[in-house]
Structure formats: C-alpha cells, structure tokens
C-alpha cells in the first residue's frame, strides 16, 4: 500500500507537469498572439493554463469521471465571492430559473435602472442600478433553445415586477457579453412585440455572437487562432449547443450549408462587403461559398432561425429596437458579428453607440478584476459600459 501511495505522490505531479508542458508546446505551435495585445506574456500564460485545464477535462471525460465541460465549468466557478458592504445580493428563483439580484444598500432618491451583466457588483456600484443576473442552464446538459427561453422568461417576470425592486420602468437596460450578448439580441426582438410590458430603454451588446451562418468573415479568417475563442472552440461550442454533429464542421466553415436562394436573400446583411475595409488584412479573402451540400443544410438549417441568428430579423423588427451600445474587440473572431449587426441598426435609423477596443480579445471583459491577471482592455470596456449606462 505504501508503494502505491508513493507511486501516486510521485506519478501524479509528474503527469500534471508533463500535461502542462504539452499545453505550453501546443500554445506556441498553434496560438496567434496579435501584436496589439498588451501584456503578451500574461496572455500566453493564461492561454497555456486554459489548454491545460481543457486537456485535463478531456482525460477525466475519457476516464468517465465527469464530462470535460463540467470540469471546465467547475474550475471557472471556483473562487471566493467577496461580500460588498454597499450591496445587497439575493439569490432567488423565477420559476425554475436561478437568478441573483444585486441592489445598492443606500436609498436612492429616484428609481434605479436595471441591466443584466456578469460584472454585477462593479456596475451596481458605479451606476447606482438594480441588476438581475440570470443563471440560465448551460452545456453540456442543455441545448437550444434553453438559454433563449430561460433569459426570455426571467426578463418577462422581472419586467412585471419592476416596482417591487424600485426600478424605473423607463430606464431598463439589457446587457450581455458573448453568448449573453446573443441572448440580449434575441430576447429584445421578442419584447418589442409585447406592448403590455415596460419597453426596454437600451441594450448593450459586448462582443456578441449574432449569426451562425457566414463563418468566413474577415475576423473569422484573421483571428481563428487567437485565444481564448479560437475557431475550433467556437465551432465545437456552436455544434454542441445547436445539437449539430461535428461531422458537419467543414460544411459550416466553408458555407456549403447555405442554399444559393438564401444567400441571395441574406447576403445584403451577412456579406463581408458590409465590413469596412480597414478591418481587412492583406490575407483576408471575400467569402467563397463551398459547393452546396443539401444533406448538411438539412441537418443545420435551424441556424437560419431568428432565435439563433437574430441578424436575420426583418427591417420592421430592427427599426423598433431600442438604442444600442456595441463593443467590439479587434482580436476577436466575433468582431465582425458586432459590425454587421451595428450596420443593420444604422440602416434602420436606430441610435447606435460603438466602442472598438484595438487591444481587446474575446473574453477579456471577465478578467477586469483579476488583479495582476487583468488587462488594460478589460478595464476600458467596463468603464465604457458603466459610463454609457449612467448616461441613459
């Protein structure tokens, strides 16, 4: 028994060290670190840690201990939640949906705004807002349309209860980052046709995913190997959430799932021609749709639903949407999604505020309070969003 323990004590650290060395090697072989990113060493270290955690998760999944996604979520959730003496944080449920309500302790002289955002405490303090964070159900246990329905149901219930929480119904803001930005975009399109509810005043879309159709945009080409959302990770998450078999990966990436008649209908909104030329690199190529694959289309055609690709909403719906603040990052594979959706707003006369972060990358927002692991771009985005909300 003592020998087994000795082998474990020696073997486990050796194995973990070897796995980390593999992650470092993979990073330097595959990752692209744009020159505009500040603190490049810190960026590389974080990506190596990410690769290490993902590799360990894959091993645990193969050993049937837990799924890789469950392990990654567990690691992301580990941490100490600091109590803020200036806030009241309440965990509750709207039906079966877990939500967390953030409220300032100080009594406000006027009704407060509301918004959804992961950086809850900071925004509540900075903007004197009531904030509701929706704990929507996630992968790997839940698939589309669970996130959409959870966010929609929680939003509707909260909008019906604004008076209870002292929220001014004329100053409600919805905010989301990445898939949260997608949730805001889809939910708000439904809400504009609900006259019995308070109308949302504004929306904040931070590096959102807006469509799953044209994956050949300039940003997809330029940033396909930029951590932390590489093309491989993006397509894996997309396929898992939409229950699409990964065997259709190449068809999705080349546009072979797009029928010619649909491309003729939607290219005015989805084409790379809508991306300003200053965002094109020397290597960027206009999209060239692969040979149409009908079998692939039949398996993936739900990506043309407005609940999945909200950019496909008709002009009448877009024109009714509230003003928007878009945040895009230069080194983000989803950069052009924000640019395409912004143009749709502008074409329909919807007021738009746009903030582009030259040294930003996907996911940098979540690092804003990680102290020495934070990045200047993280704080820029947070401060910009807080300033926008305060001016609503």
Taking only the tens place, the pLDDT of each residue in 327-368 is 999 999 999 999 999 999 999 999 999 999 999 999 999 888
Catalytic pick among 114, 332, 336, 337: 332
Token pair for 160: 């019906």
Average pLDDT (299-310) is 97
First to last CA, the chain: 67
Average pLDDT (100-115) is 66
Q: Pick the last residue of a domain from 77, 95, 110.
A: 77
pLDDT over 60 at 107, yes or no: no
CB 242 within 8 A of CB 212: yes
Q: Pick the last residue of a domain from 57, 77, 97.
A: 77
* CATH (domain of 328): 3.40.50.1820
- Give me the number of domains the chain comprises: 2
Assess whether 134 and 279 both reside in one domain.
yes
Token pair for 131: 């904030």
Assess whether 195 and 114 both reside in one domain.
yes
Average pLDDT (271-283) is 92
Report the distance separating Cα 40 and Cα 42, nearest Å: 5
Angle at 296 (CA atoms; ends 291, 302), nearest 5 degrees: 120
- Closest by CA to 333, choosing from 232, 184, 185, is 232
Assess whether 381 and 240 both reside in one domain.
yes
Assess whether 73 and 161 both reside in one domain.
no
Rounded to 10 deg, the angle between the 335-347 and 260-270 helix axes is: 80
Compute the half-sphere exposure of residue 19: CA atoms within 13 Å on the CB side of its CA. 17
Catalytic pick among 47, 336, 362, 378: 362
Catalytic pick among 178, 219, 272, 328: 178
Q: Pick the last residue of a domain from 42, 77, 112.
A: 77
Which residues span the domain enclosing 64? 2-77
Asked if 362 is an active-site residue, the reply is yes
Given this model, what pLDDT does residue 111 score? 56
- Closest by CA to 111, choosing from 385, 325, 392, is 392
pTM (2 decimals)? 0.92
Range of lowest pLDDT (13-17, 37-41, 151-155): 13-17
Tell how strand 112-115 and strand 167-177 pair up: parallel
Report the distance separating Cα 37 and Cα 227, nearest Å: 11
Report the distance separating Cα 185 and Cα 190, nearest Å: 9
Only one residue has tokens 């990752």, namely 31
Query: How far out from the chain centre does Cα 153 lie?
Result: 19
């Amino acid at each position: 028994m003592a020998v087994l323990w000795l082998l474990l004590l020696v073997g486990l650290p050796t194995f973990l060290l070897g796995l980390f060395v593999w992650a470092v090697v993979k990073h330097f072989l595959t990752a692209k670190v744009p020159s505009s990113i500040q603190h490049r060493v810190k960026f590389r270290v974080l990506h190596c840690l990410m690769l290490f955690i993902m590799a360990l998760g894959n091993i645990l999944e193969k050993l049937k201990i837990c799924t890789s996604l469950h392990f990654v979520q567990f690691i992301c959730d580990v941490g100490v939640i600091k109590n803020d003496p200036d806030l009241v944080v309440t965990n509750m449920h709207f039906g079966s949906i877990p939500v967390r309500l953030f409220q300032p302790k100080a009594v406000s002289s006027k009704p407060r705004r509301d918004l959804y955002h992961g950086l809850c405490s900071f925004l509540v303090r900075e903007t004197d807002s009531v904030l509701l964070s929706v704990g929507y159900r996630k992968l790997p246990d839940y698939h589309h349309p669970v996130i959409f329905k959870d966010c929609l149901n929680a939003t509707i219930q909260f909008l019906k209860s604004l008076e209870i929480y002292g929220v001014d119904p004329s100053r409600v803001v919805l905010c989301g980052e990445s898939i949260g930005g997608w949730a805001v975009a889809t939910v708000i399109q439904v809400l504009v046709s609900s006259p019995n509810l308070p109308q949302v005043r504004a929306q904040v879309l931070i590096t959102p995913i807006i469509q799953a159709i044209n994956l050949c945009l300039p940003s997809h080409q330029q940033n396909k190997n930029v951590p932390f959302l590489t093309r491989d990770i993006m397509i894996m998450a997309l396929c898992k959430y939409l229950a699409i078999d990964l065997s259709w990966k190449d068809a999705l990436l080349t546009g072979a799932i797009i029928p010619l008649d649909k491309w003729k209908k939607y290219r005015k909104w989805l084409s790379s021609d809508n991306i300003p030329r200053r965002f094109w690199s020397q290597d960027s190529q206009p999209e060239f749709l692969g040979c149409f694959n009908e079998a692939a289309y039949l398996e993936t055609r739900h990506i043309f639903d407005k609940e999945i690709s909200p950019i496909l909403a008709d002009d009448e719906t877009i024109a009714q949407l509230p003003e928007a603040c878009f945040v895009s990052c230069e080194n983000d594979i989803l950069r052009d999604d924000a640019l395409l959706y912004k143009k749709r707003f502008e074409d329909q006369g919807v007021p738009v505020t746009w903030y582009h972060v030259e040294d930003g990358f996907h996911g940098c927002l979540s690092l804003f309070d990680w102290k020495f692991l934070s990045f200047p771009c993280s704080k820029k985005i947070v401060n910009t969003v807080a300033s926008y909300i305060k001016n609503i």
